[in-house]
Amino acid sequence: MSEPTRIRAQAQGGKTTVRVLMSHEMESGHRKDGSGKIVPSWFIQEVSISLNGKVILDADFGPSVSKNPYLQFVIKGGKTGDKLSLAWKDNRGQTRTDEASVS
Amino acid sequence: MKNTFPQTPNRRDALKQLASLTALLVGAGYSTFAQAAYNKAAFDSKSVNEAVKFQGGGGIAESKDILLNAPDYAENGAAVAIGMSTGLPGVRKIMILIEKNPASLAASFEVSEFVEANFSTRVKMSQTSDVYAVAVMADGRALFSKKEVKVTIGSCGS
């Protein structure tokens, strides 16, 4: 199964900077394997991020996002101890949710 | 599902069962992604204009207020760091597009009141191409800024 998403969130000066590294192959569906067959696409389509249970950011990805997607964004406000949760869903319908606290 | 219903199924009971099953699925967290459905048409688009249109952007215009941070040269097309931000108020959606990729739209962010219009990510680039940062405003305008990124080793796969 999929590896956990690494989430680092740091509150400073009234903002919280969040860095996220998801673990996913992100196959574009254009690449060919050794025998010349096209590798079917397999990528994260939807990402949903919540702060203390409330959705604050929805992102949609296409297959152009690189392998093991990196994402950085800034939350207005946020404080130490706030709970961040990130859920993703790929085009095969697999999902994964991971949580972290703001530090 | 084969043996769920009794031998002589009653239509009313069957409908009731279906309704409760649906409620169960929704209640069990399947609604996490329901807010905005994945816009397949936009992500399948072959051009920047088309993708922006599918994402609800109207007239597209270049703007200095959209800041795009991309390298001049990318040694490895498999992971090109792209950052974009804007200080403009009323941004609804921010998108990153790579003109010459098989599908232009790479990522799209729904900007809420809780986050700043400031995102960084990494994308794959198949070849040297213009990279677009597009912000769809609340009034439907689409403002963009673009930059050419030269790719020395192309990659759209790994």
What are the sequence ranges of the domains in chain B?
1-35, 40-151
Helical H segments across chain B, by residue range: 11-25, 40-44, 48-54
Asked if the model's pLDDT at residue B157 lies above 80, the reply is: no
- Amino acid A30: pLDDT: 85
Ordered domains of chain A (ranges, CATH): 6-101 (2.60.40.10)
Task: Identify the band that residue B59 occupies on the pLDDT scale cut at 50, 70 and 90.
Answer: confident
Q: What is the homologous superfamily of the domain B40-151 according to CATH?
A: SoxY domain (2.60.40.2470)
Min CA distance, A72 vs chain B (Å)? 5
pTM of the model: 0.79
Average pLDDT over residues B114-126: 92
> Which segments in chain A show pLDDT lower than 70?
1
In whole angstroms, what is the distance from residue B64 CA to residue B84 CA?
Answer: 12
Most B CBs within 10 Å: which of A8, A66, A102, as the mutation test of the B interface?
Answer: A66
- Amino acid A71: pLDDT: 94
Residues B145/B150/B156/B158 CA torsion (nearest 10 deg): -120
